[in-house]
Structure 1
Amino acid sequence: MARSPSVPAYSLHKPSGRAVVKVKQRSIYLGEYGSPESRQAYARIAADLMAGCEPTPPQQPGGTLPVRAVTIGEVVNAYARYASGYYRKSGKATSEIAIIDAALRHLGPYRDLPAAAFRVTDMRATQERMASAGLARPTVNKYQNRIVRVFKWAAVEELIPAAVAQALVLLPGLRRGRTTASEPAPILPVDQAVVDATLLELLPAVATMVRLQLKTGMRPGEVVLLRPCDLDRTGEVWLYRPSTHKCEHHGTGRIVFLNAASQTLLTPYLFRTPTEYCFRPERWSPKPVAQRRYDTASYGRSIRRAAERAGVPPWFPNQLRHAFATQVRAAFGLEAAQVLLGHSRADVTQLYAETNAALGAATVRAIE
């Protein structure tokens, strides 16, 4: 992919006190040096150059743009405040906040540009810069989606004309085979021999978490949140309903099925108050006992360090879920794998959900 053109500096023309930028040996005056209007004019020229277009000269007094339009930087800051309150679960910020922050950093070159002046060509140039920076195609598309979401929000809040957001929606994401952006490496099941070697180097609690994931297909975020109070132990197959889970915002419930082997693994960790987490680090912590637990980051670190000590390739907890999925699909079919992994759609009926529960229980009883 071709490199983005370099952008000349915003400079002071000392004799006149005006801001100036030199493009192809031509001086373009932007207004009073340091003024918001001159910064916006410079941002527009920089955006044009990054998009490979001829720069748009600043409008003279009497033009159609307002003298002081809200900038992209101001829109980004306002949206960040909104998102910090909206994307919360159980009183804590969700992972969506980190994705939004990462996406909006790519609007940095346009911060001083009037938000109403952001065009499809600017978004396309941003796509290309992200791809050139080494981001995988799905990540570029994910970030593009968040950026467009910001402009749609700004239109609803009447910070920009609706037409600006509507135009950005029309730009498709990058498509496989039609872009130089890389494809992410697939997440493959971890080899059982690698897991076995790693287990020998893990603390007992973490080793049990690994074995439970292999038996149940739990997500890492579900195994770290397991508490006695989240378990229904009335039947032959225990049911674990996580207090929070990945697809919660779609209105779907999540049930993890635990057969006899899984119950045997888990039982030693159930002798605690119902709201305490089953798996918590042995090291001292200032947190109250009820709040002590592994999180997905510390869980993953424990596995990587144990793999290093065992002399096997590093691997990640998500690969255990993929190993489980491969096993169940091969032995029991796609529908059983979908049920046990929690891949049901948000619009399924209650009857279908009950059928799924019966299928899930029957399947895990057959798994050794």
Structure 2
Amino acid sequence: MPRLTKKLPSYRLHRASGQAVVTLAGRDHYLGPHGTAASKAEYDRVLAEYLSNGRRDAAREASVSVGELLLAYLRYAEGHFTRDGKPTRHVDNIKDAIRPLRKLYSHTPAEDFDAAALKSVRKAMIDAGLSRNTANARIKKIKTLFSWAAEERLVSATVLHEIRSVRSLQRGRDGVRETAPVRPVPTEHVQAVLRFVSPPVAAMIQVQALTGMRPGEVMAMRAGDIARDGEVWLYRPRRHKTDYLGQGRVVFLGPKAQEILVPWIVEDPDAYLFSPKRYAEARRRASGRGAISRPRAVKRSFRERYQKNSYANAITLACQKAGIPAWGPNRLRHSAATSIRQRFGLEAAQSVLGHMDVKTTQIYAERHLERARDIMGEIG
């Protein structure tokens, strides 16, 4: 009888995605849009590699582990996501996202990581008490990791296709905890904390409430970043949330904000307006004490500028002293947005708060800035 030959794995349509697919050693390899010349050429390539390797999946056998992949990506992230030569907070967020991935799949070949595995990682996040929004954001970072790995040819396009097939958790459909919406701070609660915080913190609160700027923007204000040659001042933060997109940020400071800022402006253009260190030194001079001598164990040092936690903690402590529910500085931005939207409309709020789509034309952006200038001249 003639010898039977093994049938070659077939090129076929994956109906759910419209991709061409071939199954090698029990694993699907996606080749691109079905019926295209490119997908057929990719079929010939992966099939040739498969046959030359003795009908074994060479990609799987040569795969790095998930743990090795994570280390490589972190090295890349620490060099890529930097500001002033230092890794940004985004790197810490990546580390938070990949922690359950490392715990569950560190020794798994990266080529074997699939949609079911990613869902297991997500379930671990949910079991740890993360909200839907946080879990979705962290899974998105893991997807970005695998996109980078595919670009660097550390995993195959098949793995990336699997990862991308996992859909985000949906509100009200997946039984996952929802975060409470961020609400504006009642005006009376803002006023209540002012007498329980230091003068620089009180000034930051008031300026932020008037302008709707982000906490990081008000903490980083410097005299050299403020153009004071008009009725409405222009503050251009040196660093802001969307500067990596090439999107400029301008905060307009009206008469009320100017009145609050004037006492804090110093000659040095690079000095922070709201400096805990400078304020503490001024208090010592005013009291005639000079430098305070304290035991080393309790000696307190002050920074040149407030940090995210120190600003928020000062407000939380003041809320406790005032006997009101605690609120954070981010809610001041929502308060300003709500007030402006109610008086001037949604587009006006977007103009003042800097919520511009990066695809907006320059002409449209200039119209936003003019509108923002007019509004803050009236209310800020």
> TM-score, structure 2 length as denominator?
0.77
| 1:77 paired to 2:71 | yes
Aligned length: 305
Check whether the contact 1:190–1:319 (CA below 8 A) recurs between aligned residues: yes
Q: How does 1:125-204 map to 2 (within 5 A)?
A: 125-204=120-199
1:98 maps to 2:110: no
SS across alignment from 2:234: strand
Structure 1 residue runs of 5 or longer lacking an equivalent are 1-60
Is residue 142 of structure 2 the alignment partner of residue 111 of structure 1?
no
Q: Shift of the alpha carbon at 1:67? A: 5.5
Please state if 1:349 is matched with 2:364: no
1:183-216 deviations in Å (ceiling 9; x for gaps): 1111111111111111110100100000001111
Letter of the 1:366 partner, please give it.
Answer: E
SS in 1 for 2:252: strand
**Alignment match, 1:32:** none
Q: Distance in 1 between matches of 2:236 and 2:109?
A: 48
Matches of 2:63 and 2:270, distance apart in 1: 52
Deviations 1:248-269 (A, max 9, x none): 1222111101001110100111
Partner of residue 335, structure 2? 323
- Post-superposition offset of 1:133: 2.0
Query: Amino acid of the residue matched to residue 93 of structure 1?
Result: P
> Residue 92 of structure 1: CA displacement?
2.7
Structure label with greater radius of gyration: 2
Distance 2:199 2:121 in 1: 47
Q: Is the 8 A contact 1:190 1:315 kept in 2?
A: yes
> In structure 2, the residue corresponding to 1:257 is in which secondary structure?
strand
User: Whole-Å Cα distance in 2 between the matches of residues 197 and 141 of structure 1?
Assistant: 36
User: CA contact under 8 A between 2:113 and 2:159: conserved in structure 1?
Assistant: yes
Unaligned stretches of 5+ residues in structure 2? 1-53, 282-299
Residue 321 of structure 2 corresponds to which residue in structure 1?
309
Q: TM-score, normalised by structure 1?
A: 0.79
Query: Is the Cα contact below 8 Å between 1:227 and 1:276 reproduced in 2?
Result: yes
2:104 and 2:121 in contact (8 A); partners too: no
Q: Which amino acid aligns with 1:166?
A: H
Deviation of residue 349 (structure 1)? Answer: 2.1
- Is contact 1:131-1:180 (8 Å) kept? no
Letter in 1 for 2:360: V
Pick one of 63, 83, 93 that aligns with 1:89.
83
C-alpha RMSD over aligned residues: 1.9
Structure 1 residue aligned with 2:221, among 226, 248, 252? Answer: 226
More displaced, 351-360 or 321-330? 351-360
Counterpart among 287, 312, 316 of residue 300 in structure 1? 312
Identity, % of aligned pairs?
A: 40
Give distance in 1, aligned partners of 2:265 and 2:104.
Answer: 53
Could you tell me which amino acid in structure 2 is paired with residue 71 of structure 1?
A: S
CA distance in 1, matches of 2:195, 2:316: 13
Q: Is the 8 A contact 1:134 1:181 kept in 2?
A: no
**AA partner of residue 340 (structure 1):** V
Secondary structure, in 3 states, of the residue corresponding to 1:83? helix
After alignment, is 135-144 or 91-100 more displaced?
A: 91-100
Counterpart secondary structure, 1:239: strand
What is the DSSP-based 3-state SS (H/G/I as helix, E as strand, rest coil) of the residue aligned with 2:360? coil
- Between the aligned partners of 1:239 and 1:273, the Cα distance in structure 2 is 18
8 Å Cα contact 1:132/1:181 also seen in 2: no
Q: CA deviation at 1:272?
A: 3.1
The 2-side partners of 1:62 and 1:337 are apart by 62
Matched, 1:362 2:374: yes
